[in-house]
Amino acid sequence: MVCIGGNRCMETVQGDITLQKVDALVNAANTSLLGGGGVDGAIHRAGGPAILEECRALNGCETGDAKITTGGNLFASYVIHTVGPVYEDGKQGEPELLASCYRRSLEVAVENHIQTLAFPAISCGVYGYPLEEAAQIALEECVAFLKASTAIRLVRFVLFNETIHRVFQNALSQVTGC
């Protein structure tokens, strides 16, 4: 765990995001918000039908934006759904869109008085974002947000396997100098 200032901390863990005991989980969703594979499918399955019901009323979500629903049957009270970019070549606005996913998720968290949240590695699965680049963008965006806002107490990155966890842990060390 790395403290960014005051009571604001960040950490990386390897595990299952659906089991996290935080105020909100961030879902790496698709634009329909109606469920899919990977993290998205796991969150919808674990959270139950209440999440899908609320997602239907949201009329989708644009890439780089974020919207919130109940956490349904999850430990987390809320799910913040964000749509990451599909990686093409890094020259189609992908870095800016990925940064926006993290920033908008944190903004939605603050708007809803959420103090602790867990992120997956957005766009790093089937969307094909290169892992090292994605980790750097994610950690830089979150550290900058925590330095500017005292509303969030904990940002946890929950990474599915050892390789992804190691990359994010290294990026956290580089970005924070710790």
Which residues fall within 8 angstroms of residue 149, CB to CB, at 6 or more apart?
Answer: 106, 110
DSSP 17: G
Q: Can you tell me whether residue 109 is helix, strand or coil?
A: helix
Helix 38-47, helix 49-57: angle, nearest 10: 110
Whether 40 is catalytic: yes
Could you say which of 16, 23, 40, 65 is catalytic? 40
CB 78 within 8 A of CB 27: no
- The residues facing 117 across adjacent strands are 24, 155
Query: Catalytic site residues?
Result: 40
